Structure 1
Amino acid sequence: MQEDSHTEFKSSFSDAVIESLVAFTNTKGGKVLVGVDNEGNPIKSFTIGGETLQNWVNEVKNKTQPSIIPDAEIITIQGKDVASLYVQEFPIKPVSFKGRYFKRVRNSNHQLSLTEISDLHLKSFNSSWDSYINPEYTVDTLSLDKVRDFVAMCNKDREVRIEDDPLTVLTKFELIKASGVTNACYLLFADHDVFSASMELGRFDTATSIKDSLSIRSNLFTEVEDVINFVRKHINKSYIISGDPQREERWQYPIPAIREIVINMIVHRDYTHYGDSSVKIFNDHIEFFNPGRLPGDISIANLLSGQYISQARNKKIAATFKEAQLIEKYGSGIKRIQEAFADYGLKSPLFENMQHGFQVTVYSAAKLTSEKTSEKTSEKTSEKILLMVTQNPTITIAELAANIRVSNRSIERNIGKLQKEKKLERIGADKGGFWQVL
């Protein structure tokens, strides 16, 4: 037996026991065994009187706010009586001990920051900061034209269209209420600069040498396009000649993945923090930094493996972006980003918690391929495809990509070229069909 995220050992009852119980109530619950050493072995000199447990329970109740009442019982370990004090996760958080707040992380207690205290309180009521009314904002501070633009995004390719006027739309989405304008509504549809959403953009030659910079304070929907346009301005673009009348553009980075990163930044940013978001573009990589670390119960490993439940820091902003069809599915963005870079033949992005926020770093190839090299590479790939298809007419695109060591997208592009040149034909459906070299 050992200490973990749900178990704590104490040799005697003290304020430290209450601190641990509070930490457990603010996380997933747990128990404190009193009368054992650090290894969980019973202490010979420890005794429990007739009123001991009840006195401890009363002390816990009186020193916590909201008051918690642990389940207390005597258990036997190695033939010796010890006390077990157990608490469940408390429904209304956070619970404090002498005005201080704690959470359980692995086998130790950590004091909560002001931001963590606020977040826990909001989560207790299934709410978030952006859903609260801000008395500084009124309907007059909003742009109804921007609301109409939002409605147009919602209605794109949808059978059931939104036909309401802008104010009715905001009311139905609970972005404005009888008592006023929510923080989310202001960030999304403000008619002037939004300083609380400031983002600093820069193009760097080195860490200390900057070529171009831009500060943007747009509303959140406009901010997405502002950032993408700045990135496009400062990254390279090449062309791939595939035999088609029009050359294919290839940016230094997959733009759809860059857009996904930017949207994640905007939706999940901690807007209560004084720091700004930033995008730093270097010759061979880009750093996207955002105030607001990952939630404490989600690790980087969880994030990359997809083994986590998506938690929107700003529920109203996230829901509005989803209605505008800018978010496909909660929690699936990281996977799409990774797949896009893999298909592009680039190194997987680096995701990391750092300082008071979260950073994504994306990397490009050492050099962009020239048009001539791209054309030759395409020809070699086409030759390999024809050879492999001749040997195995039922081979799949994924198998071709794995054998030739290029992306699925490259295989699909070359097959399209071969089909247009009447060198290759698909017989039958995608499943059950086969390739025929002409």
Structure 2
Amino acid sequence: MSTAEVTDLYMRTMQYSWDAYPYPSKTIEDLDMDKIERFANRINEKGRLRISGTPVEIISKMNLVKDGNPTNGAMLLFAKTPLMYDIHAGRLKTSDVILDDRIIRNTLYEAVEETMKYIMSHLKVSYKISSETVVQTTQRSEIFEYPLEALRELVLNSIIHRQYDNVGDIKIKIFDNRITIFNPGKLYGDLTIEDLKTDYYQSSARNKLVVEAFFLTGDIEKYGTGFHRVRNAISKYPSMKFKYREIQNGFLTELSYEETSTDNTVDNTVDKTNEEKILDAIRVNPGITQQKLVEITGLTRRGVEWNMQKLKVESVIRRVGGKKHGHWEILSD
């Protein structure tokens, strides 16, 4: 039995939760009061609990303060300076060829949104236009490469249930036809892989206060329905598969799919890749800077540079003039 497994067993036996312990050498002054107020507003908007008071009173009611000092959970959720529990996300062509990567370090609610934004920036988007739509309206519907509700559920699961006394990072790898998410910490309590295959498993919370917080804001349910919702979401994607397993000292989930052809006689889909986002931006503003492309596409500067270089090598674009006063020209238009 590993040290992490021994720690988990001890805490379950004593009915402790790691996030309920005081965080060493930190005080209330290390918490961001604005984040706590936004948290309280979200709770009240959801309506599962009515909560009021000063920021310190609010987190005290949530048991996120112990002996006048913030707990591990409070620091994870509301620290002014986010703790070093990183999410390492990247876009890969193969296991050895990394096209783009990013280290996300933030408090938990913000980390969820930042992670989803990064993942979405690397997804292909299709615009579905049916024959009926063409006749009746100019509207079109967006279809993401993966169901966003499934991805969000898996991101939430990894952030909320990770083992925070394990120094490893959450690792998200985005390949051409699959996404994997690894989080430190195996399944908690008596939960098994076989249980997760059913729609009626009973979940166990490693981080009880964090789970409570995300439940009250309406981001999760407490009833072990997360994987059920993932299965429901991918049911609309016929070729998509959902796999999960325990590996080493953690848990790995994977969404993957097979490429399928599109019937162009009735429904048409047009993929919106990162390259196309860049080309669209250049059409609007030929003098656009790389920093502006970073903001538009959600890629890192390295990711923008890689895509721009690829477009130049393929003779899709060229640079006219110098860096300061030049502009981009699209050769294919």
Relative to the length of structure 2, the TM-score reads 0.75
1:342 maps to 235
**Aligned in 2, Cα 1:288/1:368: closer, same or farther, shift over 3 Å?**
farther
1:282 aligns with 2:175: yes
1:301 aligns with 2:301: no
- Deviation of residue 179 (structure 1)? 4.1
2:61 to 166, 172, 178: 172
1:215 to 80, 93, 103: 103
Q: Secondary structure at the match of 1:134?
A: coil
1:234 maps to 122
2:113 to 225, 228, 231: 225
| Alpha-carbon separation, structure 2, partners of 1:259 and 1:213 | 19
Taking the TM superposition and a 5 Å limit, the aligned residue runs for 1:96-245 are 112-158=1-47, 161-195=50-84, 197-242=85-130, 243=133, 244-245=137-138
- Deviation of residue 166 (structure 1)? 1.0
Q: Secondary structure at the match of 2:235?
A: helix
| Alignment: residue pair count | 264
| Alpha-carbon separation, structure 1, partners of 2:266 and 2:169 | 40
Taking the TM superposition and a 5 Å limit, the aligned residue runs for 1:243-322 are 243=133, 244-295=137-188, 297-306=190-199, 308-322=201-215
| Alpha-carbon separation, structure 2, partners of 1:374 and 1:204 | 34
Percent identity reads 35
1:331 maps to 224
2:275 maps to none
| Alpha-carbon separation, structure 2, partners of 1:126 and 1:173 | 17
Q: Which runs of 5+ in 2 are unaligned?
A: 270-333
Taking the TM superposition and a 5 Å limit, the aligned residue runs for 1:387-398 are none
1:356 aligns with 2:249: yes
**Aligned in 2, Cα 1:308/1:160: closer, same or farther, shift over 3 Å?**
closer
- Deviation of residue 165 (structure 1)? 1.8
Does structure 2 conserve the Cα–Cα contact (< 8 Å) formed by 1:252 and 1:364?
A: no
Does structure 1 conserve the Cα–Cα contact (< 8 Å) formed by 2:124 and 2:144?
A: yes
Q: Which moved more, 1:197-206 or 1:152-161?
A: 152-161
1:375 maps to 267
- Deviation of residue 124 (structure 1)? 2.2
- Deviation of residue 345 (structure 1)? 2.2
Q: Secondary structure at the match of 1:317?
A: helix
Residue identity matched to 2:62: F
Does structure 1 conserve the Cα–Cα contact (< 8 Å) formed by 2:188 and 2:205?
A: no
Does structure 1 conserve the Cα–Cα contact (< 8 Å) formed by 2:173 and 2:180?
A: yes
**Aligned in 2, Cα 1:155/1:353: closer, same or farther, shift over 3 Å?**
same
**What do the CA deviations read for 1:24-52 (whole angstroms, capped 9, x no partner)?**
xxxxxxxxxxxxxxxxxxxxxxxxxxxxx
Does structure 1 conserve the Cα–Cα contact (< 8 Å) formed by 2:46 and 2:216?
A: no
**Aligned in 2, Cα 1:189/1:376: closer, same or farther, shift over 3 Å?**
closer
Residue identity matched to 1:326: D
**Aligned in 2, Cα 1:209/1:161: closer, same or farther, shift over 3 Å?**
same
| Alpha-carbon separation, structure 2, partners of 1:309 and 1:376 | 42
| Alpha-carbon separation, structure 2, partners of 1:159 and 1:323 | 6
Relative to the length of structure 1, the TM-score reads 0.57
Q: CA RMSD in A?
A: 2.0
**Aligned in 2, Cα 1:182/1:374: closer, same or farther, shift over 3 Å?**
farther
Does structure 2 conserve the Cα–Cα contact (< 8 Å) formed by 1:204 and 1:210?
A: yes
1:409 maps to none
